[in-house]
Amino acid sequence: MTQKPYVVDELISAKSIAARIEALAKEISTHYAGTDKLVVVGLLRGSFIFIADLVRELDLPVEVDFMEASSYGNAMESSREVRILKDLRGEIAGRDVLVVEDIVDTGYTLKHVLEILETRHPRRMEVCALLNKPSRRETDVQAKWVGFDIPDKFVVGYGIDYGQRNRNLPHIGAVRFTE
C-alpha cells in the first residue's frame, strides 16, 4: 500500500491510557462480581494491546477469545459492509460476554458483530471500547464502557494501525499528512 508522508501527533499518552484502564477495570470488576467466568472477546487486530492490559487489571475469572471482523474499503474509511474473517473458538450460550473493541466510529462493525453474537444467546453481553468518536456515529450501538471520547481524527498506536503500521506505538496519536 502506498502512503503519503505523515507524522503522528500524540493525542493520549501511555500514562493516561494506563490510568484510564485501571479505572475501567475497577468498574467492570464490580459489575461482574460473582460471575462464574466472564468471556472477554477481543476484536482483532486493533484491540490486542488494549485487551492484554485490560484483562490483567480485572479482578475476575476470565476466559479470553478473539474474533476478527473486517469492513471492505480503504485504510481510512469504513465501507459499512462487514464480514467475519475469524470466529470465536468457544461457546458463549448462557455466558456473560464482554466485547472489547479498539474504536467505535460509525458503529457498523460493532453492530454487525453484536448481531451475530446475539444469535448464540449469551446471558448478558456488553461492550468496552477504548476509543469512541461520537460525532461519526451512524448506528444506534453503544459501548457500556468507553476509555476516551475523541474528535473526528484518524488515530493510530496502542494496537491501532494505519496500513499495518504504528500498532506498536505506546500512545495514541493522530495522523497528520505532511504534504
With binding defined as CB under 6 A, does residue 160 bind ligand 5GP? yes
Stretch that binds ligand 5GP, among 8-16, 23-31, 32-40, 95-103 (CB under 6 A): 95-103
Catalytic residue, candidates 9, 36, 87, 105? 105
Residue 50 makes contact with ligand 5GP by CB under 6 A: no
Which positions touch Mg ion (CB under 5 A)?
Answer: 46, 102, 161
Contact region for ligand 5GP (CB under 6 A) — 24-32, 53-61, 86-94, 152-160?
152-160
For residues 161 and 178, the answer to whether their CB atoms sit within 8 Å is: no
The answer to whether 101 contacts ligand 5GP (rule: CB under 6 A) is: yes
Q: Taking CB under 6 A as the rule, does residue 78 contact ligand 5GP?
A: yes
105 as an active site residue: the answer is yes
Q: How far is the CB of 93 from ligand 5GP (least distance, A)?
A: 25
Alpha carbons 47 and 125: distance in angstroms, whole number = 17
| Alpha-carbon dihedral 15, 18, 22, 23, rounded to 10 degrees | 60
| List 12, 21, 60, 156, residue binding ligand 5GP (CB under 6 A) | 156
SS (H, E, C) the chain: CCCCCEEEEEEECHHHHHHHHHHHHHHHHHHCCCCCCEEEEEEECCCHHHHHHHHHHCCCCEEEEEEEEEECCCCCCCCCCEEEEECCCCCCCCCEEEEEEEEECCCHHHHHHHHHHHCCCCCEEEEEEEEECHHHCCCCCCCCEEEEECCCCCEEECCECECCECCCCCCEEEEEECC
Q: Is 39 in the site for ligand 5GP (CB under 6 A)?
A: no
Among 40, 105, 132, 146, binds ligand 5GP (CB under 6 A): 105
Find the part of the chain contacting ligand 5GP (CB under 6 A) among 30-38, 60-68, 101-109, 116-124. Answer: 101-109
Which residues are known to be catalytic? 105
Site residues for ligand 5GP per CB under 6 A: 46, 71, 78, 101-110, 154-156, 160-162
